[in-house]
Structure 1
Amino acid sequence: MLGLSAITALIWLAIRRFNEGRTVDLSEPVIINGSEVWIGDYLLPKREILWKKEWHAVVFRAWQAKQNGPVFDLALDLEAEGVHAIIIGPTGSGKSELLKLLLGATIRDQPNCEITLLDFKGGASFSRYQGLGQVKRFATDIDGHSPEQLWNEIRAEVGRRELGLAAKGASRIEEPIMFQLPRHYIFVDELAAALAESPLATSALTLVATRGRSLGIHLIVATQSAQGIPRTMLTNLRVRIALAEADPIDLAQLNLKRPAEPISVLAGWASGIAQKPGSLTSHFNFPLGASFEF
């Protein structure tokens, strides 16, 4: 009996020492899935007696959040802040799901807006929404469209709006005389693939990024990495969102720093960080598999 107790004590001490030596980033999301508790990519021992002291407070906050239920509270006010937005994250992080949520919120908040949907994931993201009245243009990477026609149409949209403002002596869409001109939102899933289609894509989207502010044209783009995006375009994508597991190099390029406060993530939800001009970076949750109907 004494020997068994000694062996048990040695095993317990060994596990305890391993955990104490394991560095866990407490700023990573806390995931509670049944009896499993993760902090980032580290699975905590099943017995709480083996936990390090600082883990308890982090997990308790996550447990409290789970009881109250997560809320999707990311609001993009592109008209007043940032003008354009970029979402980065690896495959499977939920970029397309977040784009659809933002598309739905845009149409609900501005039912008279105009929408361009550019789905360079084979139509998987936006094809079900192409029949909405707000959608004026829909294209995918497999529909056989003419790249020259597509990107010249986007450049022409900029030109039409510039002529419309000039005709009324206005300098920006917010002036009262331009009240009938709707805002136009361009959603792009897989920006890197769109830019690779044609040199015209780069010039057209850069034109929107640099001159769209006064014309009421806004870009919301998603891509796996910020690498390869023209500097002129990236500078004007001022609302910056990074989803879980985004590459640290991309975070550095976008000047994004993860907040120290961790966030809990439930099954069926994902997480990200967002930064708007003049604001600190903050965490947010969003549901996966969400859809909207009108």
Structure 2
Amino acid sequence: MTNTHEIAIRSLHRIEELEEVRKLESAIWGETDSIPSHQTITAVKNGGLVIGAYCEEKLIGFQYSFPGFNGQSAYLCSHILGIDEQFRNKGIGEKLKSAQRDEAIKLGYSLITWTYDPLESVNGYLNIAKLGGVCSTYIPNCYGEMEDLLNSGIPSDRFLVEWHIGKKEKTDSNGQGLPLNFVIENSLIQWDAIDEGVPVPSFTLPLPEQECDTAFVAIPKDFRTIRATNIQVANEWRMKTRDIFSDLFQQEWQVTDFMKNSMTEIPVQFYVLSRK
């Protein structure tokens, strides 16, 4: 398999390129929900971006964003990022986001926003730990009941990420240097392991006291497999994390880091939160 050094990243502007994007999106999520190329080319001509990742001139990943406006300032809405299954977990998503940031700055943007499933640990690590995004908004069932290949059978809850691309430095890593045992003991969601080490949320700790400045929330390392094999456990994680994050955000906490652990016997990763 190729390595990421052989991947070419470029902005896309032609209708033929954008039709390739639509076909790749259909292969990943299903034909029904793919975005028409007449929509993406209109966005590109009006402050939006479509960025493609190519391996030997074959499109193997893409990122699509369009302009947003909140009544006071414009920002870039990062709508969808997709990568061919054979090329995942090779750093291509980070390359696409880096190119998106560079192109957005050229267009005059200082903020990029997007949503993602907070239970997808790979996305959490990329969006929060590596890119430096922050989150203080939880959207229950954001897209309603989704029937595509990756989202069916569970409410489509999402984090709303803010990526302040004008900042040179990544958000401070609150999780760095903290002992794993300390994080495990203080995770607001505790868990038990069932068949083959699958984590199941067991109970929750009280929200942190006022004097605390850091909080931790566990999520499964491999939520996608849990969703495919045990939808009941997947929904338990959805509801438990929905309650915790909603309560924390209401009390002025925000997600500022993501802490991975490499110990196979510990089947969870951790979000790190700090007070605003």
The interval holding the TM-score normalised by the smaller chain is under 0.3
Choose between structure 1 and 2: higher strand proportion: 2
TM-score, length of structure 2 as denominator length: 0.28
The structure with the larger Rg is 1
Q: Which has the higher contact order (CA 8 A, sep 6+)?
A: 1
TM-score, length of structure 1 as denominator length: 0.27
